[in-house]
Amino acid sequence: MSAPFHRSLRALVADRARRPIQVLVVAVLLCGLWSAWFFLFRVSVYAVSSEARVEVEVATHPVEPAVEGRVVSSSLVLDRWVEAGEVLVALDARALEIELSAKRVRVESITAQLGPLEREVETKTRALGDHERVARAQIAEARARHRGAMVLADHAQSEAQRSAVLREQALVSAADLAKMVSEGRLQRASAEALEVAVGRVDAESRLRRSEIEAEVAELSREIELLRGQKAQELVAIEALQHEIELRSIRAPISGKLGEIAVLRAGSVVTKGARLGAVVPPGRLQVTADFPPDVVLGRVRPGQAARLRLAGFPWAEYGTLPLSVESVGSEVRNGKVRVELSIAGSGPPAIPMQHGLPGAVEVEVERLLPAELVLRAAGRMLERGWAGDGASR
């Protein structure tokens, strides 16, 4: 019995000696594999967005009031299709409508006053033309009579001169001579009277013409004043119509209401308040906001990316393949905007629609783990130096 027990004891001792060697071999092998991975195999480095969402390629249009007002009616229903120009919210415009009615009545009153005045101006203008023609005829007639009287006066004067010659020859009596001289003077006086009549007719004609022209000018001034008032009222009407139209909040484009505010009759909305948004039909894309130090100089158009949707675990539903379309060059609110196109159909279990949130991952480079460790160490040193400098 002693011999077998001795051999068993030696076997146990040999087995204990082999176990450290096996552990050492395994440890060396693992270290070698880890070193090979650490120094030879590259890993992907991703830039991860702070925010991302699925959006329609055509920009959504907000529904916003241009003025403050009290809600009279609202047809904002989530996911309802609306046509461009359709009234979505009506604000109270009763006071403006009353003022508009008063302005329209005022315009009608001015128009009613303008009609008779314009007709009176036309009548007086025609009367002035008729007066001009009559005056010219009267003046022509007076001048003709004056010329006739001058002829008679000249004839009478020549007869008196001839009678005076005959009287010297005792061929005509003194009475006949006196009669001829008197007739000549009478004809001359008549001619002078007709000449004065020509001037009087001309003066009366000018006076009447001036009176009619003054009346026409007065009527014209009144008409122009009324027309100016009417123009002012029409401008005021147009402004009131514009103000009333501003109180009808319309759909800017055709599409579905993607978001709405809860409005009830009597609610007061402020100018520029977001009451909803109209989502037009179109191709879906993904927009993401990245920190500037993550995206600038590292994310470029054409790079592959993927979207992990919030609420849909990627291990169960998968990810959505993307391709970078454009990268913003300006920082806004501390973020840089990146637009990505959907490269595939996406997971069939996920209903693709506008507004789905998530996170975008873009592969920006492939590095060795050793490079990543050195880069992290360098950043830690930079922060340490920056902290030391700040403390000093």
* Nearest of 186, 132, 135, 196 to residue 160 by alpha carbon: 186
280-316 pLDDT, tens per residue?
A: 887 888 888 888 887 787 788 888 888 888 878 877 7
Of 351 and 79, more confident: 79
Q: With bands split at pLDDT 50, 70 and 90, how would you rate the model's confidence at 242?
A: very high
Concatenating the DSSP letter of every residue in 140-205 gives HHHHHHHHHHHHHHHHHHHHHHHHHHHHHTT-S-HHHHHHHHHHHHHHHHHHHHHHHHHHHHHHHH
Q: What percent of the chain is modeled with pLDDT above 90?
A: 20
Residues in the chain: 392
Integer distance in angstroms from the first to the last C-alpha of the chain? 82
Going by their DSSP bridges, the two strands 51-56 and 357-367 should be labelled as: antiparallel
DSSP label at 274?
Answer: -
Place of tokens 């009366």: 204
Going by their DSSP bridges, the two strands 69-74 and 320-327 should be labelled as: unpaired
Across the range 354-370, mean pLDDT stands at 77
Average of per-residue pLDDT values in the chain: 79
Q: Which two tokens stand for residue 362?
A: 């873009």
CB 67 within 8 A of CB 246: yes
CA dist 178 and 167 (Å) reads: 10
CA dist 362 and 305 (Å) reads: 4
Top-confidence range, 30-34, 267-271, 375-379? 267-271
Q: Which two tokens stand for residue 52?
A: 């991302």
Query: Where does 169-300 have alpha helices with state H?
Result: 174-246, 292-295
Q: Can you give the pTM of this predicted structure? A: 0.57
What 3-state DSSP class applies to 10?
helix
Residue 386 pLDDT:
56
Residue 226 pLDDT:
92
CA dist 288 and 46 (Å) reads: 14
CA dist 80 and 249 (Å) reads: 16
Residue 172 pLDDT:
58
CB 70 within 8 A of CB 92: yes
Domains and CATH numbers, the chain: 61-92+248-269 (2.40.50.100), 95-246 (1.10.287)
Top-confidence range, 189-193, 217-221, 295-299, 351-355? 217-221
Q: Is the model's pLDDT at 375 over the cut of 50?
A: yes
Angular region, 297: left φ>0, alpha ψ -120 to 50, beta rest: left
Which residues, including other chains, have CB under 8 Å from residue 157's CB and lie 6 or more apart? 184, 187, 188
Residue 36 pLDDT:
67
CB 309 within 8 A of CB 342: no
CA dist 84 and 80 (Å) reads: 13
158-189 pLDDT, tens per residue?
A: 766 666 666 566 665 666 657 666 776 776 77
Of 363 and 15, more confident: 363
Q: With bands split at pLDDT 50, 70 and 90, how would you rate the model's confidence at 154?
A: confident
Q: Work out the number of other CB atoms within 10 angstroms of the CB of residue 319.
A: 20
Across the range 68-93, mean pLDDT stands at 91
User: C-alpha distances in angstroms, 44 versus 265, 294, 349, 364, 372?
Assistant: 57, 14, 28, 8, 11
Asked which of 2-16, 148-162, 372-386 is least confident by mean pLDDT, the reply is: 2-16
CA dist 263 and 383 (Å) reads: 52
CA dist 190 and 146 (Å) reads: 8
What 3-state DSSP class applies to 229?
helix
